């Protein structure tokens, strides 16, 4: 299997940075700078022991086509879902940078240093700094990512395309959710647990859950097997401005993402995720993260 980009399979670090870009100038200049990303990451890690800085770049269908990056043939842009207060907008853009490390300053430094040569060729659409919240909890107070695959082999199996021209690559789903914490915190813990489908202190699945609970909408099975994705989601934001969850996940197929989103937004059976009454997405995009070899060949 080809070498995947380091940020994908590795366990999330305490601090992350998520950046969405559009190309406004030279595609060839941007592609060349993308090919140099991991060399720069290695340089920073060599100079800052313990930084554990990891990165992944991923690209839209149109960028992949323009740059001749091999992807599975069914790779498509994000499509808007739902309506009204449970609407998931499509904000597809050209490419996405995911960084995580043990130091928030190095995430900032790496982005600034890496983007400098192409500052006139790209436009940053969204730059979000994430951070671990208590013991890997969402701001709702519930543990996030309980069902994530454990161990490198299991994570690779879920996240990476196993064979073909796109081997070692990974599909990416990204949505930035803004939480309504005042409404959420006005409910009792037992009511919150009904919405989520798990106990709050220790994330144990409840014995009985409504089909509209969050767990009921996202814990999906087909032919007796679970549809697994590898989450790297993180809380973000400030008290005086937007705050919530930057949802990001990797998978070896885009199918899992389509199925998950249709289930959450009521496009499978008319039932919507009850959690969407307390949070809403403001971005939505699909990307493909090629293997390290494919990325470096862009130069």
Task: Look up tokens 């014995």; give the residue.
Answer: 207
Contacts of 293 (CB under 8 A, 6+ apart): 2, 3, 168
The four Cα atoms 200, 201, 203, 204 give a dihedral, to 10 degrees, of -100
Annotated catalytic residue within 94, 135, 138, 144 = 144
Separation CA 8–CA 49 (nearest Å): 21
* Cross-strand bridge partners of residue 101: 15
Q: Note the maximum CA span of the chain.
A: 56
Separation CA 95–CA 124 (nearest Å): 10
**Ramachandran class of 297: left when φ > 0, alpha when ψ lies in -120 to 50, beta otherwise:** alpha
In a 10 Å sphere around its CB, with 0-12 CB exposed, 13-18 middle and 19+ buried, how is residue 73 labelled?
A: exposed
144 is catalytic: yes
DSSP helix/strand/coil, 172: strand
Residue 274's nearest CA partner among 283, 282, 286, 265 is 265
- Residues annotated as catalytic are 144
């Amino acid at each position: 299997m080809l070498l995947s980009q380091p940020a994908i399979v590795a366990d999330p670090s305490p601090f992350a940075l998520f950046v969405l870009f559009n190309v406004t100038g030279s595609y060839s200049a941007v592609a060349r700078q993308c090919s140099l990303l991991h060399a720069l990451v290695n340089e920073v890690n060599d100079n800052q022991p313990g930084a554990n800085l990891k990165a992944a770049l991923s690209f839209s269908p149109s960028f992949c086509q323009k740059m001749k990056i091999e992807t599975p043939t069914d790779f498509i842009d994000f499509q808007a879902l739902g309506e009204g207060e449970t609407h998931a907008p499509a904000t597809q853009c050209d490419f996405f940078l995911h960084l995580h490390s043990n130091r928030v300053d190095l995430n900032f430094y790496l982005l600034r240093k890496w983007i400098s040569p192409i500052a006139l060729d790209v436009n940053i659409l969204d730059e979000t700094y994430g951070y671990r919240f208590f013991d890997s909890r969402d701001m709702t107070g519930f543990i996030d990512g309980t069902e994530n695959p454990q161990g490198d082999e299991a994570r690779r199996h879920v996240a990476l395309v196993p064979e073909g021209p796109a081997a070692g690559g990974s599909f990416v789903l990204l949505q930035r959710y803004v939480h309504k914490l005042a409404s959420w915190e006005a409910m009792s813990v037992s009511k919150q647990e009904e919405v989520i489908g798990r106990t709050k202190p220790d994330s144990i699945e409840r014995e009985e859950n409504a089909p509209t609970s969050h767990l009921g909408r996202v814990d999906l099975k087909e032919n007796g097997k679970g549809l697994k994705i590898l989450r790297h989601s993180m809380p973000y934001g400030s008290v005086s401005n937007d705050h919530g969850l930057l949802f990001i996940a990797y998978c070896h197929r885009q199918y899992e993402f389509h199925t998950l989103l249709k289930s959450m937004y009521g496009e499978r059976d008319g039932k919507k995720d009850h959690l969407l009454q307390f949070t809403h997405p403001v971005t939505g995009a699909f990307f493909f993260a090629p293997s390290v070899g494919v990325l470096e060949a862009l130069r």
